[in-house]
């Protein structure tokens, strides 16, 4: 009998804008300092998309093209393209379908997927199902966010954290059992009051008053988000480890959402994964929401080896969270 189909990552691409917003520059914008930001978050700089009228697709297109060129893949062979994002270009028109058209993926259907900072993780689950079922052979999953479009650069509680970026991964069928092994995804709608953009959605459309009140920017209760992020990511990872009879010795890498270095450290610590196994690049990009996981894969691709066991974990607005266990398929 033929081996069962698993969904493996066959390539990675990325794009980050050139402009670096450093802690030093933030010191000139709000009452903060490099020492506070570094010790409380681990962030040194973030990238900001400055091009006029450029939205999330600007970065998604470039991340996708990087991947396609690197692996010499004809975009017409892509069956499905998903853009995981909390910051679509415009309302009521899919960022993914625009991205697909611009990269020449003319045989693909495409849609956006929004689960805040867990968008990419949930997207991995969706991509895997289409591959595992045998329906499609090439699913391009892009995590991209222009966080700067919803940040209040007078609010020191949020502007120091977020940055812009995009990463893309290609999922293909695998017959060696490599790729996505298991997932545990959850959410709690009661959490949405602690992290959101209050206006601009259907429940509270923009008015002159909402704009005056700066309700079109992200607001968060950082401490509550922090506590929930650690406990939910840690328990999701523990569930995945238990269910798959994995000890932390079996795990090669923890790829956790990059929201705060202290959240990553505390999560790793709680589940007993040593610090050196936790992939970290938050110092360069800050929290890029849907792009953190593919940017980690992009930055660490060279150290990943075929068969490496990677545990992904995210936590985000909503609340949304979860963990995915994947074995790396090349390298």
State the number of CA atoms in the 13 A half-sphere of 28 facing the CB: 4
Segment interacting with ligand UT7, rule: CB under 6 A, options 67-75, 106-114, 254-262, 298-306: 254-262
Whether 159 is catalytic: no
Query: Per-residue x/- marks for ligand UT7, 193-212, CB under 6 A?
Result: --x-----------------
CA distance 312 to 330: 17
Residue count at the site for ligand UT7 (CB under 6 A)?
A: 21
Which position among 117, 147, 159, 260 bears the catalytic label?
Answer: 117
Whether 257 is catalytic: yes
By the rule CB under 6 A, 84 interacts with ligand UT7: no
Reference 218, options 280, 139, 162; nearest CA is 162
Judged by DSSP in three states, 257 sits in coil
Segment interacting with ligand UT7, rule: CB under 6 A, options 6-14, 222-230, 235-243, 305-313: 222-230
User: Of the candidates 85, 181, 287, 327, which one interacts with ligand UT7 according to CB under 6 A?
Assistant: 287
Segment interacting with ligand UT7, rule: CB under 6 A, options 94-102, 225-233, 237-245, 296-304: 225-233
- Can you say whether residue 319 is alpha, beta or left, with left for phi > 0 and alpha for psi between -120 and 50 degrees? beta
The contacts of residue 234 (CB under 8 Å, 6+ apart) are 266, 267, 270, 271
- Minimum Å distance from CB 315 to ligand UT7? 6
By the rule CB under 6 A, 302 interacts with ligand UT7: no
CA distance 59 to 144: 7
User: Of the candidates 64, 73, 81, 229, which one interacts with ligand UT7 according to CB under 6 A?
Assistant: 229
CA distance 127 to 129: 6
Site for ligand UT7 in 141-160 (CB under 6 A): 156-157, 160
- Comparing every residue's Cβ against ligand UT7, the nearest one is 222
CA distance 29 to 168: 32
Which tokens in the block code for residue 306? 């075929």
User: Of the candidates 153, 226, 248, 301, which one interacts with ligand UT7 according to CB under 6 A?
Assistant: 226
Helix, strand, coil distribution of the chain in percent, nearest 5? 40, 25, 35
- Minimum Å distance from CB 156 to ligand UT7? 4
By the rule CB under 6 A, 225 interacts with ligand UT7: yes
Site for ligand UT7 in 110-129 (CB under 6 A): 117
For residue 173, what are the β-bridge partners?
A: 7
CA distance 286 to 296: 12
Positive or negative, the CA dihedral 273, 277, 282, 287 is negative
Reference 60, options 91, 93, 44, 84; nearest CA is 84
CB 296 within 8 A of CB 281: yes
Residue 6 or 314 with smaller CB distance to ligand UT7: 314
Whether 117 is catalytic: yes
By the rule CB under 6 A, 52 interacts with ligand UT7: no
Which position among 23, 174, 228, 287 bears the catalytic label?
Answer: 287
Known catalytic residues are: 117, 257, 287
Query: Residue numbers of the site for ligand UT7 (CB under 6 A)?
Result: 32, 36, 40-41, 117, 156-157, 160, 195, 220, 222-223, 225-226, 229, 257, 259-260, 263, 287, 316
């Amino acid at each position: 009998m033929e081996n069962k189909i698993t969904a493996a990552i066959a390539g990675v691409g990325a794009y980050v804008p050139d402009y670096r917003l450093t802690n030093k520059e933030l010191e000139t914008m709000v009452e903060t300092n490099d020492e506070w930001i570094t010790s409380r978050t681990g962030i040194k700089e973030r990238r900001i998309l400055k091009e006029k009228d450029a939205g999330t697709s600007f970065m998604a297109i470039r991340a996708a093209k990087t991947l396609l060129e690197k692996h010499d893949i004809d975009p017409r062979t892509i069956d499905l393209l998903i853009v995981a994002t909390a910051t679509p270009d415009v309302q009521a028109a899919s960022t993914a379908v625009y991205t697909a058209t611009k990269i020449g993926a003319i045989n693909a259907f495409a849609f956006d997927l929004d689960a805040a900072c867990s968008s990419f993780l949930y997207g991995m689950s969706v991509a895997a199902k289409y591959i595992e079922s045998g329906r499609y052979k090439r699913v391009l999953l892009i995590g991209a966010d222009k966080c700067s479009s919803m940040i209040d650069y007078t609010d020191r509680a949020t502007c120091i954290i977020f940055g812009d970026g995009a990463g893309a991964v290609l999922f293909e069928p695998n017959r060696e059992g490599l790729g996505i092994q298991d997932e545990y995804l959850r959410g709690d709608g009661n959490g949405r009051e602690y992290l959101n953009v209050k206006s601009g959605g259907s429940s509270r459309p923009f008015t002159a008053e909402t704009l005056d009140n700066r309700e079109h920017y992200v607001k968060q209760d950082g401490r509550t988000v922090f506590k929930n992020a650690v406990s939910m990511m840690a328990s999701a990872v523990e569930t995945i480890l238990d269910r798959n009879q994995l000890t932390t010795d079996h795990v090669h890498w923890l790829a956790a959402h990059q929201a705060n270095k202290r959240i990553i450290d505390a999560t790793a610590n709680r589940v007993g994964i040593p610090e050196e196994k936790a992939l970290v690049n938050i110092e360069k990009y800050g929290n890029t929401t849907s792009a953190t996981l593919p940017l980690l894969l992009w930055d660490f691709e060279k150290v990943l080896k075929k068969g490496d066991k990677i545990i992904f974990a995210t936590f985000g607005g909503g609340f949304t969270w979860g963990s995915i266990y994947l074995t790396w398929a090349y390298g």
